[in-house]
Chain A
């Protein structure tokens, strides 16, 4: 029997996790909420040592220490632009940990509570879905880190293979429930790994954030099932909280991109995407010098800046903020248009601009700013592409079709700061680049931004 005070500590931690999530959904309380969650985790981790007499204390403490150092160093060193990869990675290792726990439990299943069959089924679920979560996260990481193509990877037979892996997992899980053991558990985890890879391969770059969120929810569910297996209420509650909120978050993000979650995952399999249709990349475009653009901006009355991931990669956000400040001093009305999925995951751009200390009130969300483009003299698009691509409205075959976009095309003039004519993360051509209203300013975003800044100052 678990001592009552340990159970009370778990209850306390569970309540803190709920309050932490609650806090995380409002800007004012978010930081406090997160710290509360961390404190709860510390309390629970201390309590588990008293659940029953545990052996191997020294190696366990060493393992916790190693993990703590790795996690903390990774979290401190990572650049804000690489945040999505890191979240994917952390999620993956969490899923792997849950899968390992489940495999071990299947090995030594002794039927501690009412029905050993249900416990075995829960452990089988944990092993499979934990494997899916880990392998899926690794593929996601590879896509975001540029280790592999960001385009959907589809090969003939992929749906069949995926279906076979899932069916095999279900079959073995049923067998495992009857007669648990180490081998079937390992096979289950391996099938989960295979299914995870196959699940994420066909997902295109622009949809990767939704998949991270989905895999996050998966890991939550595995932890919940693991809690049932181990007879630990805290794991059940915490895992279910993450599973439920993660699922809702996934649906909200998908809605923000005008997609359904299923379409995100399996859209490429239907062959619906005409990727990088590549229509006439050698068509004429109009390019200009920083001095020309400085005049356009300096004598405009309303300017909207559309920042994208490219801005952050070039570390040009500080120069951009300075440019906005100089323009504001000249009496130009400046606002930033923030697409919900600008950057590499929803809300990422807000983090990146906050890092550059852009005033919060200048960041305007999409629904609010879209009607203002019509009355805007110049839109300055810096390192963004897909979020202003009219193909989302006009080309039914495009991978981003249906995604709400910033209506930059309605402004009087559009300036694109781009490194090259390469298409965006979704891998599709942007018609707006060839629009007569559009001017292109080629070059590294940081360098060009500095030139633009000094040109505006010289006006």
Chain B
């Protein structure tokens, strides 16, 4: 029983932390935030690796490997695409592409 209570404690505290850390986010960042949290649950990858690594039969191994591929897509793709989005937010005015006019300073 003790162990179950420990798990419940972790669960309860994590819920509050999860709510607390994003409670003040502006709608501007909703898309990257959704994409970023999406990447974090890709950590199921370690569960998939564990399953594949302890597989005792061929079908289980195949399922574990399939889960590993899918989870890796989620994890890596999620972080890469979030970074791509945020890169545009953080440095929008640093460099000017060749085609754009050099007038943007007047716009501020």
- Chain A interface residues toward B at CB < 8 A: 13, 17-18, 20-22, 24-28, 30-31, 33-35, 37-38, 41, 44-45, 47-49, 51-52, 54-57, 59-60, 63-64, 66-68, 70-72, 74-76, 78, 80, 83-84, 86-87, 90-91, 93-94, 96-98, 100-101, 103-105, 107-108, 113-115, 118, 212-213, 216, 219-220, 222-224, 226-228, 230, 232-246, 248-249, 252-253, 256, 318, 321-322, 324-326, 328-329, 334, 338, 340, 345-348, 350-351, 354-355, 357-363, 365
A228 and B7 within 8 A (CB): yes
Q: B41 near A239 (CB under 8 angstroms)?
A: yes
Closest 3 CB pairs of A and B: A67-B72, A54-B53, A71-B77
CA distance A443 to B53 in the complex (A): 57
Report the interface size class on chain B. Answer: 35 or more
Pair B71/A93 contact, Cβ less than 8 Å: yes
Given the complex, which residues of B lie within 8 Å of A71, measured CB to CB?
Answer: 72-78, 80
* Chain B residues closer than 8 Å to A60, beta-carbon distance: 49, 52-53, 64-65, 68
Q: List 25 A-B contacts (CB under 8 A).
A: A22-B21, A24-B36, A25-B24, A34-B39, A45-B75, A48-B46, A54-B53, A55-B55, A60-B49, A67-B70, A93-B71, A97-B45, A97-B74, A98-B44, A98-B71, A103-B63, A216-B34, A233-B10, A236-B10, A239-B43, A240-B15, A244-B18, A248-B18, A346-B31, A351-B89
A112 to B18, CA, bound (A): 28
Tell me what chain B mostly uses at the interface: helix, strand, loop, or mixed: helix
Contact of B92 among A54, A70, A326, A360 (CB under 8 A): A360
B14 neighbours in A (Cβ, 8 Å): 224, 236-237, 240-241, 244
Per DSSP, are chain A's interface residues mostly helix, strand or loop, or mixed?
A: helix
A95 to chain B, nearest CB (A): 8
Would you call A74 and B77 a contact (CB within 8 A)?
Answer: yes
* Shortest Cβ gap from A48 to chain B (Å): 4
* Smallest Cβ-Cβ distance to A25: which chain B residue: B25
Contacting A34 at CB < 8 Å: which of B36, B49, B107?
A: B36
What residues of chain A lie closer than 8 Å to B54, measured between beta carbons? 52, 54-55
Residues of B within 8 A of A78 (CB): 81
- Assess whether B15 is in contact with A104, with CB atoms less than 8 Å apart: no
Bound state CA distance, A100 and B60, in angstroms?
10
Beta-carbon contact of B93 and A30 below 8 Å: no
**Chain B positions 48-105 with a Cβ under 8 Å from a chain A Cβ:** 48-56, 60-61, 63-90, 92-93, 96-97, 99-101, 103-104
Cross-chain contact A359 with B107 (CB below 8 angstroms): yes
Q: How far is the CB of B71 from chain A (nearest CB, A)?
A: 4
Instruction: State A83–B51 Cα separation when bound (angstroms).
Output: 31
Interface residues of B in 11-43 (CB under 8 A from A): 11, 14-19, 21-43
